[in-house]
Amino acid sequence: MAKILNKPEIGVGLIGAGDISILHARAIAKTHGAKLVGLWNRNQDRAHQRATEFGCRNYSTPVELVNDPAIDAIFILTNLETHLEYTRLALTAGKHVLVEKPVGASVAEIEEMRELANQHDLICMPGHNYVYESSMIRTKELIETGELGQIVSAYVMYNIHHPEEVARRYPGVVRQILTHHSYILLYLVGQPVELCAMKATLHYQEYTEEDIAMVQMRLANGALAHFCASFAADDHAADPWTVMVKIIGTAGSTRYSYRDHVEIKPGLVHSQTYTAYQGSIRNEVRHFLVDCLRHGANPLSSMSDAITAQKMIEAAEKSIHDKSIVTL
């Protein structure tokens, strides 16, 4: 059982100052009883810029940041390949951790993070932000109480164009986007028992990672699920599948959509601002800092869920490589 932080203000440090740090800094600013103390970034020009924007301190090294007694929790916002390194550093220094998704590069990495957190009686929470949306929580309640009847199908769709220079920051849509899909499915209806997947690179000239992927799955109760993740094109249809989650049962169905909350102005990397995403980050940060660290609640999606989601991603990669159906 992690120790509860019984103090008037929880200090937060950021490791990583890329685009996602902007959303996290805004979320911290809106969380009562929390303060962004400082950040560190490998590129110190970017670090100075962000520290000025956020009104916080810039640390010269990550070690200096994690050893500051004013900081209680660390957000790991770096590239996927360094998540274990910095999570290990923060946990060993006695700090609670929120680590962005994809949480780790392998199941073994995420298992090590979970074990370290347990050893130090600390919370290490995966950045599974979508499950903190009220519509997702309500959907889970409807499923668990049987109000949707028998679940027959589930869909998680993502169609947002990313130019090549933006996509280069990510490890392809299977790892970067289908991780979201995987933990959403786990949270709502549980783990699939088998899956098959395909991917393609349709419009990038030099970047070799996929810009679209799809997965078909069978759930334990026999229901089917479908994932789509695409950087290749926006959906301009009348009812666009920009980001959409749909669960259909014999007695009812539910839908979550980005299109319910849109600002007609450029986002950080998108042509429009999808305010649902910022809202989900704000909900996630508040849950971590207030509900978990201050009041002892458990994350809605755990490191064990992150491990299972990673197993789903690796199964999808195996299916693509072998052109096969993979049993989980």
Query: What does the pLDDT look like over 188-219, one tens digit per residue?
Result: 999 999 999 999 999 999 999 999 999 999 99
Q: How confident is the model at residue 3 (pLDDT cuts 50, 70, 90)?
A: confident
Give the pair of three-digit tokens for residue 254.
């539910």
Those residues with Cβ within 8 angstroms of residue 237's Cβ, 6 or more apart along the chain or in another chain: none
Q: Quick one: pLDDT at residue 268?
A: 63
Cα–Cα distances in angstroms (integers) from residue 303 to residues 46, 117, 124, 155, 162, in the given order: 30, 10, 7, 23, 29
Which of 122, 128, 119 lies closest to 156, judged by CA?
128
Residues of the chain with CATH 3.30.360.10: 131-280+310-327
Q: How far apart are CA 95 and CA 107, in angstroms?
A: 22
- 10-127: which CATH architecture? 3-Layer(aba) Sandwich (3.40)
CATH classification for the domain delimited by 131-280+310-327, as one of 3.30.360.10, 3.40.50.1220, 2.130.10.10, 3.40.640.10: 3.30.360.10
What angle in degrees, to the nearest 10, is found between the helix axes of 178-189 and 303-322? Answer: 120
In this prediction, what percent of the chain has a pLDDT beyond 70? 97
User: Is the pLDDT at 2 greater than 90, yes or no?
Assistant: no
Which of 3, 4, 25 lies closest to 13, judged by CA?
25
Q: How far apart are CA 97 and CA 125, in angstroms?
A: 6
Q: Quick one: pLDDT at residue 123?
A: 97
Full strand arrangement of the beta sheet holding 224-230: 252-257, 243-249, 151-159, 224-230, 212-219, 192-200, 326-327
User: pLDDT tens-digit profile of 72-128?
Assistant: 999 999 999 999 999 999 999 999 999 999 999 999 999 999 999 999 999 999 999
Residues of the chain with CATH 3.40.50.720: 10-127
